[in-house]
Structure 1
Amino acid sequence: MLHTDLLGPLPELLNTGDTGDTAAPTRVRTPTGDDMWLVSDYALARTVLTDPRFSRAAAAAPHAPRLNTASPSPSSIMSMDGHDHARLRRVTAAAFTTGRVARLAPMVQKVSDGLLADMARQGPPADLVAAFAAPLPVAVLGTLLGVPPADRPVFDASVEVLFDITASSDEHKARHRLLLVDYMAALIDHKRSRTDDDLLTELIRAHDDGVLSRAELVSLGLALLTAGYETTVGQIALAALAVLQGVLPASALTDPALAEDTVEELLRTTPSTPLSFPRVATEDVELAGVVVRAGEGVVVSLLHGNRDATVFAEPDEIRPGRTAPHLAFGHGIHRCLGAPLARLQIRTALAGLFTRFPALAPGEAVVWKDGLVTRGLARLVVTW
């Protein structure tokens, strides 16, 4: 089982599943009342995330078992398998190569420095989430995609609903989901008459060349805009909390020789995404003696896989230099495309934060977000 004070509230199925004593999948009940298999073993997790018999497309079917009441869009890259998924992934992969992300580093640094300067100017106390962790990814993703700065509050106010499990009504979630779809469609139409140099403009050209359908273009734009937002906000705040609670010294994040490996360990031990997207078995599959029947749903606990003691010695400890890859960004064909950009933002944010404010300290009780698929903090007040 997991032993740490940093986890905060978890999706209910992670609290009820027997995840610590056996490698075999366990049966869990989701908030929608559906039964699924929960995989918490590291090796089995990698199997589920790569085996084509566990389908994301099947999980988007109308009557597939669900983690929440949201209906996945079949035209989303996250709801595709095989050729269709590869086609959409090829269109976007070039934007997230190591070299292209490295060219974004000066922009990320400038935004981070500006937000920290604003914090210093306004003086303590400050809510680190509202003042720093949230606006950084908003600005970075907005710049990458070409979202006008004046429009960013539109999706900032609605994006959490896409990760919602229980916190809001079905009507509330549906309304905000439609707002985001309408906004992305309008932004695409606006950018058609321009010659901007951004990722969304490249996707529009791919649509015009017949590579993407209109529905795929809108879904892909939304996926890129939202998937890297809530997760990165959560990861920055969770990492800062680890330092503030004494789990590791700030120097591990400000020392260039240590920072990269330390961030990987923070991603492993306290990931902002504790669960994979569900998959549905397309045929009977045996996993560690358990037969997952065709049509049954499977979800992977990335959180537990990352702390599998058979793979990571003393798994609750931060130990830079581990060789086994963690699962925080997933695994296989659906592994997060934006991982290099997320890593850049997290490293830049944390190094800047603790360099600018070496005496940073918690100012009041932490407020955790609740009801989301992702983990994160609603409020992290700090002083210096």
Structure 2
Amino acid sequence: MTVTDAAHDTARPEQYPFGPVVRLDLNPRYMELCRTAPVSRVTMPYGGEAWLITGYHEIKEFLADPRFSSRAATEPDTARVTPLPLRPGNLLSMDPPDHGKMRKIVAHAFRPRIVSDLTDRMRELVTTELDAMEAAGPPGDLVQRLAVPLPVRMIVELFGVPYEERAEFRRYSDVFVATSAHTREEVNAARDGLEQFLRKLISLRRASPSDDLISVLIEALDAGHMTEVEAVRTGIGILMAGHETSLSMISNVSFLLLAQRDLYARLLADRALLDPAIEEMLRVIPLRSTGSFPRRASEDVEVGGVLIRKGETVIFQRAAGDRDERVFDDPEAIRFDRERNPHLGFGHGIHYCLGAALARAELKAAIGGLLDRFPGLRLAGAVDDVPWKPGLIARAPESLLVEW
């Protein structure tokens, strides 16, 4: 393959993002690029130009290459989609060897036994929430009755956060993950609020250590394996990823199954399809409204036959790669019987999602609970009537009213 260098074309790269976010639709420009130019230049909302990767093989190649530094996400001059760079000190913005050391510490809280114990709690909670929704009568809101309480309860149990304090971190959540919905000042204030919240939890947990993530962070902090800033910001990163992403995905999967009601009917007819259906929806749903957090080349690197020069910024759109026709047969179709589904829904490489098993279990508990309880479940209004949260990193319905 011939290496090309498009970094100094005279034409200004097209503006990114490519257009407004519409429900779970993937802007067609992504797939055009995936087919014709899977590594291409774009002009970002903040920080100038970047490379956008849309092809499956190119994304995997990029994610596995240690020459792309995640620290770029913390630097103010990095091209990005968010109004502010990340703050240093969390897993998302770490490179080896710091990343490996920190990941090994927090992975303790995601051991299979702990996830298994939480799975039993998930089923209990889903039953309780759906009992309450059924008792209240239609319409019910699947966002407030299911998508929010399930991952929030699980993450507070994993962390050791008192459940009654969940509202304190929830009020910062949407602001923390804003792209255009909030100002820089509001995002900074939310970050400060979450850091204060984590510091308070660490202080309280010192008096009564347990097997939760806060206790794991305290043990590593006291042993000198991480700084207080690293403990706090790593905790925030997991807290946000562990509930905000999951609640968005539960909402999105529920919407997709009811917006295309034949999908829900298919699962009712064959419950053995639930696991592969979850994998297929992880593949096809474009959870992020825009591309990834940025990384920067630490030296000249070739990806997909394109030369990316030292210092240049790169982002990728996972959902485009997961519809790459070079990898997936009939990629635009939602097929619950897809035999080969190596999707990138949880990433690839050293930053592969720590909570993948927990997220899968939450989705299975939520959708399985709906299928068990409400075979006649349907949207309470038209698909176009469903309101969506604007201007956030993760797309999700604001509410999802249903009848049964």
Mark yes or no: TM-score above 0.5. Answer: yes
Task: Give SS of 2:402's match.
Answer: strand
Q: Hey, what's the Cα distance between the residues in 2 that align with 1:100 and 1:367? A: 35
Q: Hey, what's the Cα distance between the residues in 2 that align with 1:315 and 1:48? A: 22
Q: Hey, what's the Cα distance between the residues in 2 that align with 1:98 and 1:197? A: 14
| Equivalent residue number for residue 351 of structure 2 | 334
Q: Hey, what's the Cα distance between the residues in 2 that align with 1:223 and 1:250? A: 37
User: What is the aligned-residue RMSD (CA, Å)?
Assistant: 2.1
| Equivalent residue number for residue 282 of structure 2 | 267
Select 1:296's aligned residue among 284, 309, 312: 312
Amino acid across the alignment from 2:200 = A
What is the CA-CA distance between 1:103 and the residue it aligns to? 2.2
Q: Hey, what's the Cα distance between the residues in 1 that align with 2:271 and 2:254? A: 17
Structure 1 residues 166 and 223: CA distance shift in structure 2, 3 A? same
| Equivalent residue number for residue 370 of structure 1 | 390
What is the CA-CA distance between 1:265 and the residue it aligns to? 0.3
Q: Hey, what's the Cα distance between the residues in 1 that align with 2:142 and 2:264? A: 18
Task: Give SS of 1:286's match.
Answer: strand
Select 2:148's aligned residue among 134, 141, 149: 134
Task: Give SS of 1:248's match.
Answer: helix
Residue 309 in structure 1 maps to residue 325 in structure 2? yes
Deviations 1:299-353 (A, max 9, x none): 1110100110110000122223432410111100001100100000001100101
| Equivalent residue number for residue 94 of structure 2 | 80
Structure 2 gap segments, 5+ residues each:
1-20
CA contact (8 A) 2:43 2:49 kept: yes
Structure 1 residues 373 and 341: CA distance shift in structure 2, 3 A? same
Aligned pairs for 1:159-178 (under 5 A) are 159-178=173-192
What is the CA-CA distance between 1:199 and the residue it aligns to? 1.7
Judge which range, 296-305 or 371-380, deviates more.
371-380
Q: Hey, what's the Cα distance between the residues in 1 that align with 2:48 and 2:267? A: 43
Question: TM-score scaled by structure 1?
Answer: 0.93
Deviations 1:85-135 (A, max 9, x none): 000100111322334312221111111111111111111112211221111
Residue 204 in structure 1 maps to residue 218 in structure 2? yes
Q: Hey, what's the Cα distance between the residues in 2 that align with 1:131 and 1:171? A: 32
Task: Give SS of 2:195's match.
Answer: helix
Structure 1 gap segments, 5+ residues each:
1-5
CA contact (8 A) 2:297 2:309 kept: yes
Aligned pairs for 1:1-384 (under 5 A) are 8=23, 18-32=32-46, 34-246=48-260, 248-252=263-267, 255-273=270-288, 275-319=291-335, 320-364=337-381, 365-384=385-404
CA contact (8 A) 1:253 1:347 kept: no
Structure 1 residues 11 and 162: CA distance shift in structure 2, 3 A? farther
Question: TM-score scaled by structure 2?
Answer: 0.88
CA contact (8 A) 1:254 1:354 kept: no
Aligned residues with identical type, % of pairs: 38
Q: How many residues align?
A: 378
